[in-house]
Structure 1
Amino acid sequence: MATLADRDTRSDPLDAFRQEARDWIAANFPPALKGVDNTMSAVEGPSDPSPDEEAWRKAMGDKGWGVPTWPKQYGGGGLSRAEARVLGEELARAGATNPIGGMGVMMFGPTMLEYGTEEQKLEHIPPIARGEIRWCQGYSEPGAGSDLASLQTFAEDKGDHYLVNGQKTWTSGGQWADKCFAIVRTDKTKKHEGITFVLIDMKDPGVEVKPIRLISGQSPFCETFFTDVKVPKSDRVGAEGEGWTIGKRLLQHERSSLSGGGSASRLFGGVPLGKLAKEYRGEDAAGRVGDADLRMRIVRHEMDSRAFALTLRRAALEAKSNQGPSAATSIMKNVGARITQERAELTLEIRGMQGLGWEGEGFAEDEIAATRGWLFGKAVSIYGGSSEIQNNVIAKRILGMLDHQ
């Protein structure tokens, strides 16, 4: 039996990697970027990167640590999940944000690793891993939102290519994207079995993008029109008619990413609600938030947020022995949406009249940003699959409650 002294002389097998990560970050991370968010996940779209941002993206991309668990042969880091977790801890310790992200990392990359051919993986995965390309999602249509399988964008077989005609809507970041992963109809006689997964170059002739202005004043979503767009069959993922299966798998990856709660901190800042409440509402004699009811609701919200974060971490560890995300991501998506919107409501309530600013000298920049973030946050329970759709998935896939005619 090992003694306490024996254990004290042993080192954690991850200690060496932790030191490697810490030293590499210290040597490559520009101090000026401490606390700066990932520009590839910006709500209002990309901005021209600074020299420091470009250097940090290139360093992480060349190392493969922007997508740490992806295979090395496709530009990933080839790390274990445990090593990736240590890397994340060391990045956080340095105040560094992973500069590589977006829909290519969140959704398309993991799906391509599962369903793509070797040639497709070698073509599409490395640019994502290096942060050199932006992808957008061609799913929803004006007549196919909740009932996505009713989509009508049609890909006509022309031998060695498809000719795509139709319209997509709510195309997040479509005006900035280089490429689009989309589900289209290749057979009008079958609903689910008539759908195929294809890749479309957003710069090709016949692709037109029109941004949609939201009540928040932002335009992160677009209408996208395809008119006789030529798509080579080499850009079809999976077999013809397998698009619904592949598309659903991609949605699980999307919901897994969206449930992470990153949108809340990005929209409303990382200032603790308790600190914000003391600033705007004052303190009592004991140094607590002065409004007892508000104080209790903030505590409950923070408890829910902490429990949610721990649950996400546990789910990630459990996924290690499974084949990636499961239908349980629908639960996480709904809970994450509720917590994000609840934080927005509390943030505005705490600020009172100062939480209603849209523009003007009477409001600070962070107050205006919070108001607009609250409005944008209304979409959190809609995009990535509405809460009602997630409830259907939970009922059918997790609880086994099947429809009865």
Structure 2
Amino acid sequence: IQAGNVQHLDEYYETSWREKEPLPHLFIVIDEFAQMKKEQPEFMDELISVAAIGRTLGVHLLLATQKPSGVVNDKIWSNSRFRICLRVQDDADSREMLKIPDASKINVPGRGYLQVGSNEVLELFQSAWSGAPYNPNEEKVLDIVDFTEVKLSGERIKVKKRPKPMTNSPKQLQAFIQYVQSISEKENIKALPGPWLDPLPEKLLLKEFYAMEDWTIAEWNKSKEYLQVTVGLIDDVANQAQFPLKLDLQEGHLNIYGMPGTGKTTMLQTIIMSLAVSHTPTEVNFYVIDFGRMFLDFRDLPHIGGIIQEGENEKMKRLFGFLKKEITLRKESFSNIGAKSFSMYNRMVEKKIPAIVVMVDGYIRFKNEFEKENEVLELLLRESSTYGV
């Protein structure tokens, strides 16, 4: 419409919009069409619509199937001007495609019939083969000398050269694709956006979100979203977007579930590192209950208040005693100045208090082995987030 309400893609290419917003011809290729119809029947209405109006918009269907009978919709048939029929199993299949039985009698691989419209054109053709080995050193030269074999009868038979055997050579199709790709890179021709983005990476490093390698203390002073931690990458398929997965610890507590080996401990470690590179030790402190013995490497971080491992029962008791006392002190401090939340308190005072993040890696074991401490934890869960814990 913006290009002048043109009626056909060819008309669009005659306008200046060709350079502003390229609209290439789009080919929708469906191999084993019968299988797709069986597994995705709801997609058929879209294909029928494309068959009806797609040509003027530059959208074309290429459908391939072994037996078209009962598979190809009448509306698609009526809008399909070109038909290619290779060798089929019987006369009925040939008649379904071409209205003649000839295609069932083909006996040469790649041989077929091209039909245009209502038999306006019906041509027998040989399709090209792109699966031959590609030899980049092959020279196309004329044979100056012909070799012939003379039989006892005097008959002369031309001897054909035997092709040299090639090992591990790419197919001509692969070589062609690689060549087009290299030329596109040289000419700075970018691939067009497709209907989906690249798959999520199998491994995602934190340095893709934070300046991990060249980190300096200046990173702490940069503006940030307080207590928001980046832990991964979201794949928003519906909107064709990928963006960081951020958790806002100010919104409440966090549970992480998963089968053994699926990455629960790694997720906790990611949270620690994400907060440590973006927040100062006066902004956030960590206390880690580590039943898997996977957090000792973090003990030298200035943000770490303590790491408690299996068997350290006395340290466990002291931790929850400290947490109860800290919540009581914060309640009094908040009440004294009328602060309703942790963020509000820090905005109202000059000497700010840090958020406290308590991590329990292996909660079921903690619950079973430390019943009294678990009762304190359940009490803290009900009210501690208001006070920055």
TM-score (norm 1): 0.20
- Which protein is richer in helix relative to its size? 1
**Higher RCO by CA contacts (8 Å cutoff, separation 6 or greater):** 1
Which is richer in strand?
2
With the length of structure 2 as denominator, give the TM-score of the two structures.
Answer: 0.20
